[in-house]
Every structure is written in C-alpha cells, then in structure tokens.
Amino acid sequence: MLTSLSLRLRIFLFFLFIAVVGIGLVGASLLIGFSRLDPEAPGAAFIFAGLLSAFGLLGLVAGVWLLFDENVAKPIERLAAAMRTRAHAGVDVKLKEDEAKYLGDLAPATQAVTGQLTQSTMDAADAVAAETARLATEKDRLTALLTEIPIAMILVSPSHQIVLYDGQAAEVLRQIHTPRLNASIFDFFREQELLEAHAKLKETGAEVSFRAHGTKGKLAFDARLKPLSGAPGYMLLVDDTQAVIPASHARPLIYDFDLMDQALPRTVEDQPIAQMNFVVFDTETTGLLPHKDEIVQIGAVRVVNCRIVPGEVMDQLVDPGRPIPPASTKVHHVTDEMVKGAPDPVAACAMFHEFASGAVIVAHNAPFDLAFMKRHGASAGLNWDHPVLDTVLLSAVLFGASETHTLDAVCDRLGITIPDVLRHTALGDAQATAEVLCKLLPMLTSRGFTTFGEVIAQTRQHGRLLQDMN
C-alpha cells in the first residue's frame, strides 16, 4: 500500500508518525506519573514520568533507526555499490528492485541508467570485436614464430622491470627463478654485469654483447643488449638457450607495454593500488584447523595492471604425509593416490614463496590460508613479509559489512561464474578470486582509495570480520 504513495509523502507520514507517537509517549508518561502522585513527595512522580518518557523516546528512536537502516540506508548502499560494479567492473546483472522498494523511483531509474550504460558498452565492444580477433590471430602467429627461433627475448623497461618475455625466455628464466612479468631483471641476472652492459649501451647506442650469469647456481649465458629505436628501455637477447619448444606446446607471449611508462616503485603504502603486482592464491587442505591439518593443493595466479597474466600459474599438489579424510576429498576431490610423490608441505610452501616474490599476496579469507604458509615457512626459514590483501575485506569496504562475503556471494554480485568442475579446487578458486580482485580494484579507485595504504586503512575498519594480515 505504502509503495503506491510518492516518496516525499511517505517520508512526511513517517515523521508525522514519529511526532504523534512521541507526543503520545510523553502524555502517557505524565498521566501515569500523575496517577502515582504522592502529595508528600510530588517530585518523585515527575521524575518517574520523565524517566518513562525518556526510555519510551529512546525505544522510538531505536525503532525508527532500525527501519531507516533496513529500508533506506542499506538499499542506498546496495544501489551505489551496484552502480559502481556496472560503471567500473563491467558487470551486467539486473538490479534487484525489490530491495529498494521504499525508495520510490530510485531503483528503476538506476536500472534504466545502468542498462543504457551497459548497452552503450556492448555497442562499443561489438565495434572493436572484429579488430580484436584479428590482432589475437596475429599475436598467435607471432608467438608460434618466436617459439621456432632459439633466442630468448626479454623486453626491459628503463627501470629494469620485465615488460615482455617469450616462450624461450620463460624456459631460461625458469632455470633461475619463477618467470614474472614486471619483476626486476636483477632477480634473474647479476645486477653488476647488466648495469655495466647497459651503461655501454647508453654510451654507444649500439648492441652490446656480454656474458650473463644467473643469480642462482652457476648458470651463464651468451647475451646481448639491443637498444629500442626511439623508445625507452632495451631488449635482452639470450643466444645460447637450448630451450626448443614444440609449437603445439608454445607458451604465450607474455607482455604488458603499459609497464614501460611506470615510475620506479615507491614505498608499499604509497604505491598506486592498480599498478601493484599481485599473487592470488588458494589452498585445499585435509581440514579446517591450520594448527593441525595439512595442505593438499596450492593454486595461484599473478595479476599485473589489473589483468590476470596468462601462463604465470602455480598448480601444485602437496603430499600432506597423512591420509586425506574422505569428507575432505568429497569437497576438493584430491585423493591419496593423486598426491603420491608430490612435494611435502614445507617444500610446496617454499615453491609458493618464490612464486610470490615481490608481489602483494591476495586470498579470500587470507588468515586461514596464510596460517599454513607461515607455519611451514618457519620450518623452512622463510620470511613472509609480503603485503596482504583479503577480498573478504575489500568486499566489505565496497558493499558494506552487513552483506554476505563468501566467495560465491561476491562472484554472484560481480557477475563471475565459477565452473562446477573448478569450484573447490585450489587453482579454480584462485582464478575466481583473481577475477574478483580485477573487478574490485577499479571500484576502489573510483571511491578515492588509490594507494595501498589508503585501501589498508579502509579494510582495517572491518577488522571484526577478519584479522588484518599486514
């Protein structure tokens, strides 16, 4: 009935109701106090009436607040968050107008605006789809061609960060460290040798040949630095690689040319959140008690510049050193047979520690997964000093603490589909969490939380949900 009235009239009637009930409470309190009047101590009756009316008004205010919170404040927060998901995360999910049924035409108007925005976006996407397909085909051909050339090619930015590497380079880098986009080239090759060659390159402007030694072991390669015509940065070519990859198994050409223009990293707190490197991970375990259960699988993907990096993936089974309970296998489908011969938890944690080098660690309910890592990291002498983001807390910042923040709920809110075959697998959940992160980052920026420090300050306000791991 009330929904048929105008929003302004409903608000007027609501405040009229408050006034009438308030007057009634005061009048009733005075009447009750008068009935208890003692001529010898008349003040007691007035005190009683005052206290009764005060508590009555407090109850009225609490009830009004609850109604406004449920029917005005929360729906407005949901609508604002929904509009941001559509404007900044590319989500195309119909708004639930019944959740804002007491807000007049606001929900239908929001749906109309976001629907028009979505349609405009789709029209623009259709216009570039053919060109994108053509470029993708050309990229595949280039990748196949580079795979046939026994030279590892690495494009390096002026700040000595890796901007591009091909399949050959991935095999070379993997012998030293986990290949990582936007990692420092000095993580892989000795800094002094590279800097000397780079200084000669800048001085002469001509190609420089030198012997490059890996930062681990006794690996050494014949390498060349080539200048880029009219562009910053340089190309590192490793000539003597024997990593010949069949075309059918070609690793993607990994690159992000936006990294060429990024400034040198600042302190973690001051770094723009959208430009940071992230490793998003998940674990599957024998149970839910980190102090006594064990890991059976680790899955992780890397995110650079708000994009998931293809090929930079960790999908590792782990031998827990004990039978996996049937109840746990029923959830994650990892069996005792599957983990035979796999690394033990300490070795697997060390592998993940290397994979996450130089990145912000991200997880959904990070305290649970990191508890296993820190327990085994202590045994291996690993220092888990990575910055940490939790998508549970990011969701609370953007959608409100009162919403549901399970991975399924957040994915549904953001229009992300987790295939059933991948749900409750470490890599599948890590991939879904990474997609969530890529949609939440531009939303955080649009709210004015542009640096890592600003985002952490917001997540700490929701510490009652989860412990902050920084």
Rounded to the nearest integer, the mean pLDDT of the chain is: 85
The whole-angstrom separation of Cα 163 and Cα 441 is 21
Please compute the mean of the pLDDT values over residues 5-12 and round it to a whole number: 78
Helix (H, G, I), strand (E, B) or coil at 121: helix
User: What tokens does 63 get?
Assistant: 């009830």
pLDDT over threshold 80, residue 376: yes
* Closest C-alpha among 466, 461, 445 to residue 89: 445
pLDDT recorded at residue 232: 84
pLDDT recorded at residue 243: 47
User: How far is residue 349 CA from its own chain's centroid?
Assistant: 21
Beta bridge partners of 301: 280, 313
pLDDT over threshold 50, residue 248: no
The whole-angstrom separation of Cα 46 and Cα 267 is 64
CB-based burial label for 150 (10 Å; 0-12, 13-18, 19+): middle
The whole-angstrom separation of Cα 329 and Cα 372 is 18
- Which pLDDT tens digit goes with each residue over 324-360? 999 999 999 999 999 999 999 999 999 999 999 999 9
pLDDT over threshold 70, residue 128: no
The whole-angstrom separation of Cα 293 and Cα 131 is 51
- Please report which helix (H) or strand (E) contains residue 284, including its range: strand 277-285
Place of tokens 């030694």: 213
Residue 45 binned pLDDT confidence (cut-offs 50, 70, 90)? confident
Counting DSSP H helices and E strands in the chain, the numbers are 13, 11
pLDDT recorded at residue 467: 82
Q: Does the domain formed by 149-255 have CATH 3.30.450.20?
A: yes
pLDDT over threshold 60, residue 430: yes
User: What tokens does 448 get?
Assistant: 């004015």
pLDDT recorded at residue 284: 97
The whole-angstrom separation of Cα 152 and Cα 164 is 11
The whole-angstrom separation of Cα 288 and Cα 95 is 35
The whole-angstrom separation of Cα 429 and Cα 315 is 11
pLDDT over threshold 50, residue 461: yes
Fold of 267-462: Nucleotidyltransferase; domain 5 (3.30.420)
Known active-site residue 424 = yes
- Which pLDDT tens digit goes with each residue over 257-292? 888 887 766 788 999 999 999 999 999 999 999 999
pLDDT over threshold 70, residue 240: no
Place of tokens 């239908």: 108
Higher pLDDT pick, 23 / 87:
23
Q: Are 466 and 365 in contact (CB under 8 A)?
A: yes
pLDDT recorded at residue 117: 62
Residue 143 binned pLDDT confidence (cut-offs 50, 70, 90)? low
**Which pTM value belongs to this model?**
0.80
Residue 134 binned pLDDT confidence (cut-offs 50, 70, 90)? low
- Looking at the chain, the domain(s) classified CATH 3.30.450.20 span 149-255
Q: Are 343 and 351 in contact (CB under 8 A)?
A: yes
The whole-angstrom separation of Cα 65 and Cα 358 is 47
Residue 421 binned pLDDT confidence (cut-offs 50, 70, 90)? confident
Of 1-10, 216-225, 238-247, 281-290, highest mean pLDDT: 281-290
Of 146-160, 168-182, 220-234, 308-322, highest mean pLDDT: 308-322
Beta-strand runs (E) in 68-149? none
- Looking at the chain, the domain(s) classified CATH 3.30.420.10 span 267-462
Catalytic residue, from 177, 405, 424, 462: name it: 424
* Closest C-alpha among 265, 430, 301, 424 to residue 363: 430
* Closest C-alpha among 336, 351, 251 to residue 298: 351
* Range with the poorest average pLDDT among 24-33, 208-217, 373-382: 24-33
The dihedral over CA atoms of 459, 465, 466, 468, expressed in degrees to the nearest 10, equals 30
Q: Are 233 and 243 in contact (CB under 8 A)?
A: no
Q: What percent of the chain has pLDDT over 90?
A: 50
* Range with the poorest average pLDDT among 92-96, 136-140, 151-155: 136-140
* Closest C-alpha among 441, 56, 166 to residue 280: 441
Beta-strand runs (E) in 228-306? 234-238, 254-255, 277-285, 295-304
